[in-house]
Amino acid sequence: MKKARCAERCLGIEISGIRRLFESAGPDSINLGLGQPDFDTPGHIKEGAIAAIREGKTGYTPNMGIPELREALSRKFKNENDLSYAPDQIIVTAGASEALHIIMHALVGQGDRVLYADPGFVSYGALAILAGGRPQGVPLDARMHIDVEKAKETIDGARLFVLNSPGNPTGAVEPKENIRALVEYANDRGVTVVSDEVYEHFIYGPKHWSAALFGEDVITVNAASKTYAMTGWRLGYLAGPKEYIEQALKVHQYCQACATSISQYAALAAYNGPQDCVAAMREEYRARRDYFYGELTRMGFSFPRPEGAFYMFVPFGEDLTAKILKSGVVIVPGNAFGCNAPGYARMSYATSRSTLEAAVERIRKAMEG
């Protein structure tokens, strides 16, 4: 075959550093690299999927998702977030990643700037490039919150501002005043805010504020993945103004058609069913956070205690990060999340207490070596 010809937009991005580390982990590795719950999907959710299979609900669904799930999500938004999204303002997607993908392709024109926190979630910049946009990181302050004043300096003329709270990789929960200031400033200048809220149920103290409370030009992205330990089910959703939903639906129709029918019925059981499983996971994550943060600070590392999600973002320095990786503890170097935190590394505490204890011992030994 002659030399393969590939699109510049694909050549311009790298395979996710997180996935590369995950797939290279050896059998004796302690994997703190991947951000997914270690809990099993709750039983009533699995039963909802099994019932759907037995009842033959295995064909295509409406492109936007089954009506009863979109109705359940509309109630969820009202009851939990005080947001009024009608079912026809919601698209069910194959995970939050697809939701972000179709938003970018529906709203971002060639050369449009897409803003997001740096350090921030690895997909935002790559998805912006794939849509023809220009990604631009916005710095954080010493508490790992978005630096609002510096963000304002970049907003004029941008197309999207992606807000992620609680944040990945930092675990920071943006305060109400930051979210309000960013949304109002962006919307006043014609910049759409995309609010990625997939970790909203895992907050340990502060209150979660949805960005759409503070402006009309906001698209909300969420998923069942983290909340209900359903990462492999690939079930997310987006909600926003009808004008955007109409265009995003076109992209969704052609690239995905619909989210998997079985996953939709499982999600219906999740959102309509008991929520005590979510509270139990949150309290376990809180206990793990407290243990892990305590051990790391006793080792001498100084960094803000995560307020949400299930990550530690620790200033190990590049040399110690390399030693920890060599010791068999899989962590993600900070440069995977942008340009502003090269000496940091992300570790997930979505794993058992015994695994965290073993990781702590290896980190101690790496420091001594």
Q: What percent of the chain has pLDDT over 90?
A: 92
| pLDDT for residue 14 | 83
- Whether residue 3 lies inside any domain: the answer is no
Domain containing residue 256? 43-272
Burial of 242 per CB tally in 10 Å (0-12, 13-18, 19+) = exposed
* CATH code, domain with 181: 3.40.640.10
Looking at the structure, tell me whether residues 248 and 327 fall in a common domain: no
**Nearest to 206, CA basis, from 80, 304, 307, 285:** 307
- Of 234, 257, 272, the last residue of a domain is 272
**Residue 335 in this model has a pLDDT that exceeds 80:** yes
Task: State the pLDDT at residue 92.
Answer: 98
Average of pLDDT values for 54-69? Answer: 98
β-strands 236-239, 218-223 pairing: antiparallel
Same-domain status, 237 and 140: yes
pLDDT, residue 72, reads 98
* Weakest-pLDDT range from 27-31, 125-129, 159-163, 223-227: 27-31
pLDDT of residue 369: 77
CATH number at residue 352: 3.90.1150.10
Residue 22 has pLDDT above 90, yes or no: no
Q: CB–CB of 189/155 below 8 Å?
A: yes
- The pTM for the full model equals 0.95
Q: Which of 113, 138, 305 is nearest to 205 (CA)?
A: 305
Overall average pLDDT of the 318-345 stretch = 95
Final residue before a domain boundary, out of 239, 272, 305: 272
Q: Could you tell me if 212 and 94 lie in one domain?
A: yes
Q: Are residues 28 and 50 in the same domain?
A: no
pLDDT band at 71 (very low <50, low <70, confident <90, very high): very high
Contact between 218 and 212 under an 8 Å Cβ cutoff? The reply is yes
Q: Are residues 207 and 80 in the same domain?
A: yes
pLDDT digits (tens, 9 = 90+) for 195-214: 999 999 999 999 999 999 99
- What is the structure's pLDDT at 20? 65
pLDDT over threshold 70, residue 25: no
User: pLDDT by residue (tens digit) across 165-183?
Assistant: 999 999 999 999 999 999 9
Tell me whether residue 2 is in a domain.
no
Residues 36 and 47 in one domain: no
* pLDDT exceeds 70 at position 127: yes
> Could you give phi then psi for residue 159, rounded to 5 degrees?
-100, -45
pLDDT given for residue 17 in this prediction: 65
Radius of gyration in angstroms for the set of CA atoms belonging to the chain, rounded to a whole number: 20
Task: Say yes or no: 37 and 107 in one domain.
Answer: no
Are 265 and 282 within one domain? no
Residue 1 lies in a domain: no
pLDDT digits (tens, 9 = 90+) for 242-260: 999 999 999 999 999 999 9
Residues 26 and 130 in one domain: no
Burial of 127 (0-12, 13-18, 19+ CB in 10 A): buried
Q: Which residues contact 118 (CB under 8 A, 6 or more apart)?
A: 137, 138, 139, 140, 337, 338, 339, 340, 341
Same domain, 288 and 243: no
**How confident is the model over 298-315, as pLDDT tens digits?**
999 999 999 999 999 999
**Does some domain include residue 229?**
yes
Q: Report how far residue 303's alpha carbon sits from residue 314's, in angstroms, rounded to the nearest whole number.
A: 6
User: Is position 50 within any domain?
Assistant: yes
- Boundary residue ending a domain (272, 298, 328): 272
Q: Any bridge partners for residue 240, and if so which?
A: none
> Model confidence at 11, in pLDDT bands (50, 70, 90)?
confident
| Bridge partners (DSSP) listed for residue 347 | 312
Kindly state whether residue 112 falls inside one of the protein's structural domains: yes
pLDDT digits (tens, 9 = 90+) for 86-104: 999 999 999 999 999 999 9
Q: Which backbone phi and psi does 347 adopt, to 5 degrees?
A: -130, 135
User: Does residue 33 sit in the same domain as residue 133?
Assistant: no
Q: How high is the pLDDT of residue 294? A: 98
Convert the pLDDT of each residue in 47-59 to its tens digit: 999 999 999 999 9
Does residue 120 fall inside a structural domain?
A: yes
For the chain, helix (H) and strand (E) counts, in that order, are 13, 12
Measured distance CA(36)–CA(27) in Å, rounded: 19
Q: What amino acid occupies position 338?
A: G
22 and 49 in a common domain: no
CB atoms within 10 A of CB 23: 10
- Spatial neighbors of 266 by CB under 8 A, at least 6 apart, are 41, 45, 46, 48, 49, 52, 224, 230, 233, 235
Q: How far apart are CA 359 and CA 363, in angstroms?
A: 6
Q: Encode pLDDT of 144-166 as tens digits.
A: 999 999 999 999 999 999 999 99
Report yes or no on 20 lying in a domain.
yes
Q: What's the chain's average pLDDT?
A: 96
pLDDT at 228 over 70: yes
Q: What is the pLDDT of residue 19?
A: 60
Q: Helical H runs in the chain? A: 8-11, 17-24, 43-54, 67-76, 95-107, 123-130, 148-155, 176-188, 242-255, 261-272, 276-298, 318-326, 353-368
Query: How many structural domains is the chain composed of?
Result: 2
